[in-house]
């Protein structure tokens, strides 16, 4: 590993007032309407209500090149063909036919796109996520991973901080900026431990284009008959790029952990649903929970860094407690324990453990192999003795 430079430590786009955004919208896309700032961590997003419909004007961070922006639009079109029932933010070409439109601002040239607004309700602020909703998140991640497996585009040549292959580099670079040294050291230690668990499997983890951010704040939902909000669409392709396929699931699982009553076991419906669509290998299963820890660690240090760089960014500030809750949950159980639970949930045989008898008078072979019990008894059953019944 090792960072090629620190150029990826980009500052957010300077604030753009709504009047300027409206002028860009009219000049580049011929669209007029009311414009409202939606907030973002490093880009600028505006919801547009026009006579012909609703849109989102996205002003990209200068660190994101034109080729990357076009690749994001191409990936959306690829998914629209593969998953016709999925709601997606399809791009609208500008006056010259290009989906990426440049415009000058304060001596710099920025790029923007106009996307169809994806209707639906969010679930990020839902206190509790039912297992069926979590399963739907996992299935969606699996469907998108499977559909993107044959997607091709020029991959960006810049360091991508949200690519989990770079996670430890990101944490090591950003943790020293965090004034809370105790938390920074804790996150750094957890990231190093998690990366050490991923490293032996890295060569066996498939790589492809991934969305990279299929999370509770990037899906839109419809309310089902039982009153639950079920994901029906995906937005924000800003983290699209090549990466480990299993990282798609790790990112989704991490987003579940901050919800009310959620713990590590709460992600199991998502894991089973993903595996049903796009089967996980043994190496991917072994790497999954350490990658959840790495994702949470990257979110925590990145969020803190963003707020330090842009104290007035309410969007980034509002996420800090949520990001810390994800990290706390991710490290609350040893990764090896979670991996065993994941294997059991997927119906995979658990590794045999060789045990040498403690007393030479014990009969039998020198080694005995034990498997974890498949009993469904709960811990309170064991505690109260109901397992004897």
The answer to whether residue 153 sits within a structural domain is yes
Confirm whether 193 is domain-assigned: yes
Residue 269 lies in a domain: yes
Q: Can you give the CATH number for the domain in which 53 is found?
A: 3.30.200.20
What mean pLDDT do residues 47-71 have? 92
In whole angstroms, give the CA distance from residue 177 to residue 193.
Answer: 20
Specify whether 93 is located in the same domain as 58: yes
Contact 233, 255 (CB under 8 A): no
Q: Is residue 320 part of a domain?
A: yes
Q: Is 302 part of a structural domain of the chain? A: yes
Q: Do 107 and 223 fall within a single domain?
A: no
What share of the chain in percent tops pLDDT 70?
A: 87
Residue 121 falls inside a structural domain? no
Residue 362 has pLDDT above 70, yes or no: no
Residue indicated by tokens 């299993």: 246
Q: Which whole number is the average pLDDT over 109-116? A: 96
Q: What is the pLDDT of residues 290-341, one digit of tens each?
A: 999 999 999 999 999 989 888 887 888 999 999 999 999 999 999 999 999 9
Query: Do 55 and 186 share a structural domain?
Result: no
Taking residues 61-82, report their average pLDDT.
95
Q: Are strands 207-210 and 33-37 parallel, antiparallel or unpaired?
A: unpaired
Are residues 185 and 306 located together in one domain of the fold? Answer: yes
User: Helix crossing, 320-330 with 181-198: angle to 10°?
Assistant: 50
Residue 192: pLDDT band (50, 70, 90) is very high
Per-residue DSSP letter, 171: H
**142-169 pLDDT, tens per residue?**
999 999 999 999 877 788 999 999 999 9
Q: What is the pLDDT of residue 122?
A: 85
Query: What pLDDT score does 130 carry?
Result: 94
User: Looking at residue 187, what DSSP letter applies?
Assistant: H
Helix or strand or coil: residue 102?
A: strand
Helix (H, G, I), strand (E, B) or coil at 387: helix
Whether 379 shows a pLDDT value over 90: the answer reads no
Instruction: Tell me, yes or no, whether 210 and 253 share the same domain.
Output: yes
Whether residues 144 and 287 share a domain: the answer is: yes
Higher pLDDT, 79 or 225: 79
Instruction: Answer yes or no: do 141 and 109 share one domain.
Output: no
Q: Which residues of 2-24 are buried (b: 16+ CB within 10 A; e: fewer)?
A: eeeeeebbbebbeebeeeebbeb
Structure tokens at 312: 């007035």
Inter-residue contact 298 to 222 (CB < 8 Å) = no
Is 2 inside any structural domain?
Answer: no
Give the closest residue to 257 by CA, choosing from 224, 195, 300, 211.
Answer: 300
Q: Are residues 110 and 135 in the same domain?
A: no
How far is 268 from 253, CA to CA, in rounded Å?
Answer: 9
- State the pLDDT confidence band at 14, using cuts at 50, 70 and 90: confident
Whether residue 370 is found in the same domain as residue 310: no
Question: Do both 105 and 138 map to the same domain?
Answer: no
User: Both 35 and 61 in a single domain?
Assistant: yes
Predicted local distance difference test score (pLDDT) of residue 8: 57
Of 75, 91, 116, which residue sits at a domain end?
116
Answer yes or no: is pLDDT of 198 > 50: yes
- Cα 271 → chain centroid: 14
Domain-located, residue 1: no
305: domain CATH number is 3.90.1200.10
Residues 71 and 154 in one domain: no
Name the band, by pLDDT with cuts 50, 70 and 90, for residue 383. very low
> What's the whole-number mean pLDDT along residues 205-232?
94
More confident residue, 243 or 65: 243
β-strand partners of 230: 222
- What domain count does the chain have? 3
Average pLDDT, whole number, for the chain? 88
Residue 255: which H helix or E strand, with range?
helix 245-256
High-pLDDT (> 90) share of the chain, %: 71
Specify the long-range contacts of residues 344-350, CB closer than 8 Å, at least 24 apart. Answer: 344/372, 344/374, 345/268, 345/271, 345/272, 346/271, 346/272, 346/275, 346/280, 346/285, 348/282, 348/285
Task: Provide the domain limits for residue 368.
Answer: 353-388
pLDDT score of 79 more than 90: yes
What is the pLDDT at residue 3?
42
């Amino acid at each position: 590993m090792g960072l090629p430079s620190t150029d990826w430590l980009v500052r957010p786009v300077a604030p753009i007032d709504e009047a300027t955004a409206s002028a860009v919208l009219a000049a580049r896309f011929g669209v007029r309407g009311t414009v409202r700032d939606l907030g973002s961590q490093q880009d600028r997003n505006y919801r547009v209500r026009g006579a012909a419909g609703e849109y989102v004007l996205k002003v990209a961070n200068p660190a994101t090149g034109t080729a990357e922006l076009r690749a994001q639009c191409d990936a959306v079109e690829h998914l629209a063909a593969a998953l016709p029932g999925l709601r997606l933010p399809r791009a609208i070409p500008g006056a010259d036919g290009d989906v990426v439109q440049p415009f000058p601002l304060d001596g710099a040239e920025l790029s923007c796109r106009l996307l169809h607004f994806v209707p639906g309700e969010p679930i990020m602020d839902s206190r509790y996520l039912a297992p069926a909703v979590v399963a739907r998140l996992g299935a969606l991640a699996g469907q998108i991973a499977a559909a993107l497996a044959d997607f091709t585009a020029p991959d960006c040549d810049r360091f991508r901080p949200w690519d989990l292959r770079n996670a430890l580099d990101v944490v090591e670079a950003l943790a020293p900026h965090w004034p809370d040294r105790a938390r920074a050291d804790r996150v750094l230690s957890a990231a190093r431990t998690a990366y050490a668990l991923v490293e032996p499997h890295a060569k066996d983890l498939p790589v492809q284009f991934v969305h990279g951010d299929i999370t509770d704040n990037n899906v839109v939902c419809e309310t089902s008959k039982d009153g639950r909000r079920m994901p029906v669409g995906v937005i924000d392709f800003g983290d699209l790029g090549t990466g480990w396929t299993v990282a798609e699931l790790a990112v989704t699982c991490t987003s579940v952990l901050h919800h009310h009553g959620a713990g590590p076991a709460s992600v199991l419906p998502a894991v089973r649903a993903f595996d049903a669509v796009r089967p996980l290998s043994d190496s991917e299963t072994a790497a999954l929970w350490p990658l959840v820890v790495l994702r949470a660690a990257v979110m925590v240090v990145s969020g803190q860094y963003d707020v330090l760089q842009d104290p007035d960014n309410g969007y980034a500030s509002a996420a800090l407690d949520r990001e810390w809750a994800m990290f706390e949950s991710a490290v609350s159980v040893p990764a090896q324990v979670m991996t065993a639970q994941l294997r059991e949930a997927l119906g995979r045989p658990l590794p045999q453990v060789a045990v040498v008898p403690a007393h030479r008078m014990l009969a039998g072979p020198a080694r005995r192999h034990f498997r974890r019990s498949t009993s469904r008894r709960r811990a309170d059953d064991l505690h109260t003795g109901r397992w004897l019944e």
